[in-house]
Amino acid sequence: MSKKVCFLYANPDYVVDGMRSALGLAVENNYAYGAVLVDMPKLSEHDQENLDWIRDMEGEVYSTVPANCEKNGLAPITLEELGEQLREMDVIIPFGPR
Amino acid sequence: MAKSLGIFVTNPGNMQHVLGITKAAKAKGSQVKIFFTWEGTRLAKDPSFPQLAEMADDVAICADSYKKMGFDVNDVPAGMTPDKMATQAQHGAIIEDYDRYLTL
Amino acid sequence: MKILNVYRSEPNADIKKLVEIVTEGREAGEFKLYSGDVDYDKLVDMVYDADKTICWW
């Protein structure tokens, strides 16, 4: 059965691979989301394709950091809105170290 | 009591917790599957990894992450079989099939 | 819905806020992995007792 899964990223060095893990779950027929809570580097073209693929499979990657939304096209979200989204998730995955 | 536990390891600093939880869960008769990804794959080189692989029912590693950490995928850690040098589908199997889920 | 919040380190303000929202109106417990000797036996019991566990950083 498909589950709703949200990855949380609080370390800039772990965002890209964490997005790959989210994509991996989307490919396995889950609804995969991510949320970046820290300023992150600009995504490469390849990583941007992974983001597009997550969206193609009805997922999304959000960020509470406006700069990430501007440079990487992530969907803006407030911490409060993210908390409400997390209430709906079957699995919540704080990824890597902080 | 639920009888299976899946552990997703993404932090290379958590070997002590992975070992402690696996040991406790096995003592309670649980089935335990562990999947290591990204920097977590560095734990395959921890001296206690063979002990962990022996204790757990199923241990898998993201081969792509393992390569990115500079390891050779043909260098299969002790206690594992080559088919467990795998993909993120192993994580999907934990999400799908296990009663309880932890990320460390 | 019973939620277990496991903390791998001292939670910061963001984590506390998210926990507050996620657990509002729900039964919730917590376990600190960062404070001294960890009772893994107790932790596993708590994980099985909860419907969902969140391992915060």
* Confidence (pLDDT) at A92: 98
* Confidence (pLDDT) at C4: 98
Asked if B100 lies within 8 A of C38 by C-beta distance, the reply is no
Name the 3-class secondary structure at B81.
coil
Asked if B92 lies within 8 A of A95 by C-beta distance, the reply is no
Helix axes A15-27, A45-56, angle to 10 degrees: 30
Asked if A17 lies within 8 A of B11 by C-beta distance, the reply is no
- Given a cut of 50, the residues of chain B with pLDDT beneath it are none
Under DSSP, the state recorded for A6 is E
Task: Locate the domains of chain C by residue range.
Answer: 2-56
All chains having 3 or more CB pairs closer than 8 angstroms to chain A: B, C
Which token pair is B74?
A: 């043909």
DSSP alpha helix (H) spans, chain A? 15-27, 45-56, 66-72, 79-87
Chain B contacts to C (CB-CB under 8 A): 1-2, 5, 11, 14, 17, 20-21, 23-25, 27-28, 30, 99-104
Q: Write the residue in B65, B89, B95 that is nearest to A91 by C-beta.
A: B95
pLDDT one-digit tens code per residue, A22-81: 999 999 999 999 999 999 999 999 999 999 999 999 999 999 999 999 999 999 999 999
Report the gap between the CA of C45 and the closest CA in chain A (Å): 19
Asked if C40 lies within 8 A of B23 by C-beta distance, the reply is yes
Q: Could you read off the pLDDT tens digit of each residue along chain C, which spans 57 residues? A: 999 999 999 999 999 999 999 999 999 999 999 988 999 999 999 999 999 999 999
Q: In what order do the strands lie in the sheet with A75-76?
A: A75-76, A60-63, A31-36, A4-9, A91-95
Domains observed in chain A: 4-95 (3.40.1260.10)
pLDDT at A93 over 70: yes
Which residues from B are below 8 Å from A1, CB to CB?
96
Question: Under a CB-based contact definition with an 8 Å cutoff, are residues B101 and B4 in contact?
Answer: no
C-alpha distance from residue B82 to each of B23, B73, B86, C36 (Å)? 24, 8, 8, 37
Which token pair is B31?
A: 């089935």
Q: Write the residue in A87, A90, A97 that is nearest to C21 by C-beta.
A: A87
pLDDT band for position A1 (50/70/90)? Answer: confident
* Confidence (pLDDT) at B2: 57
The maximal CA–CA distance of chain A, rounded, in angstroms, is 36
